[in-house]
């Protein structure tokens, strides 16, 4: 299986990429714009030649995404790419909307176009996994026993969490709809 991981040079994405390469036989295409929060592991290119590719592009670049999907023909997407720092989102909220909401929309459209070109068997097996944040649910307050779950209402309280909630909404709007 060939998996596209967006944000694969970020904190969580890097760990996911390393896990996929060391614990499975899957191939990984790492799409990351290599911004301020990226920490790429350049040794993976040589260590996993033929199973790992680093594609330094922004998910807002539709043409570049289409080229990567055309070159690699993935079987799944794990979407972790995002602007993530709450303090930065307060200073520059439009950047967070641009990357987290519009970037997700671009990735979804490229993925949908790719999916349409797959054989029926590959379409059936194809998966798109979106990774979000608990920040979309707001603050638990002082109750240390409180927990969020899938039924918790959204209550974003920063431009970061609002942009992630917007990306979640785009993903959910595609759930169960014909591509």
pLDDT score of 143 more than 80: no
Q: Cβ distance 148 to 134 under 8 Å?
A: yes
Task: For residue 44, tell me if it sits in a domain.
Answer: yes
Selecting among 58, 135, 168, 171, the annotated active-site residue is 135
Q: State yes or no: is 52 an active-site residue.
A: no
| Cα–Cα distance measured from residue 174 to residue 112, given in angstroms and rounded to the nearest whole number | 10
SS3 9: coil
Q: Which residues contact 32 (CB under 8 A, 6 or more apart)?
A: 6, 7, 8, 9, 10, 13, 38, 40, 54, 55, 56, 81
pLDDT interval class at 176 (50, 70, 90) = low
Give exposure, 140-160, as e/b (b: 16+ Cβ within 10 Å).
Answer: eeeeeeeeeeeeeeeebebbb
Q: How many whole angstroms separate alpha carbon 75 and alpha carbon 125?
A: 7
Which CATH number does the domain housing residue 89 bear?
3.40.50.720
- The pLDDT value given to residue 178: 52
Domain count, the chain: 1
Q: Which of 134, 149, 154, 171 is catalytic?
A: 134
Q: Is residue 133 part of a domain?
A: yes
Q: Is residue 179 part of a domain?
A: no
For residue 169, tell me if it sits in a domain. Answer: yes
CA-CA distance, 136 to 70, in Å (whole number)? 33
61-113: pLDDT as tens digits: 999 999 999 999 999 999 999 998 888 999 999 999 999 999 999 999 999 99
Q: Is residue 126 part of a domain?
A: yes
Q: Is 61 a catalytic residue?
A: no
Residue among 55, 58, 160, 168 flagged as catalytic = 160
In a domain, 63, yes or no: yes
- 58 catalytic, yes or no? no
Range of the domain at 142: 2-174
Lowest model confidence (mean pLDDT) among 29-43, 111-125, 152-166: 29-43
- How far CA 155 is from CA of 53, 116, 122, 130, 160, in Å, comes to 37, 35, 37, 19, 12
CA gyration radius for the chain?
A: 17
Residue whose structure tokens are 């029926």: 120
Residue 22 located in a structural domain: yes
């Amino acid at each position: 299986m060939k998996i596209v991981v967006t944000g694969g040079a970020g904190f969580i994405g890097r760990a996911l990429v390393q896990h996929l390469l060391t614990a499975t036989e899957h191939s990984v295409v790492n799409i990351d714009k290599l911004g301020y929060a990226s920490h790429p592991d350049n040794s993976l290119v040589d260590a996993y030649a033929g199973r790992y590719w680093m594609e330094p592009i922004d998910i807002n670049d539709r043409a570049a995404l289409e080229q990567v999907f055309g070159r690699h023909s993935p079987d799944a997407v794990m979407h972790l790419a995002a602007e993530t720092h709450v303090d930065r989102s307060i200073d520059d909220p439009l950047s967070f909307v641009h990357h987290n909401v519009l970037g997700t929309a671009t990735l979804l459209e490229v993925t949908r176009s790719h999916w349409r070109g797959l054989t029926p068997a590959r379409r059936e097996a194809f998966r798109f996994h979106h990774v979000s944040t608990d920040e979309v649910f707001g603050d638990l307050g002082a109750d240390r026993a409180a927990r969020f779950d899938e039924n918790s209402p959204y209550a974003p309280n920063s431009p970061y969490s609002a942009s992630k909630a917007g990306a979640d909404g785009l993903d959910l709007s595609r759930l169960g709809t014909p591509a």
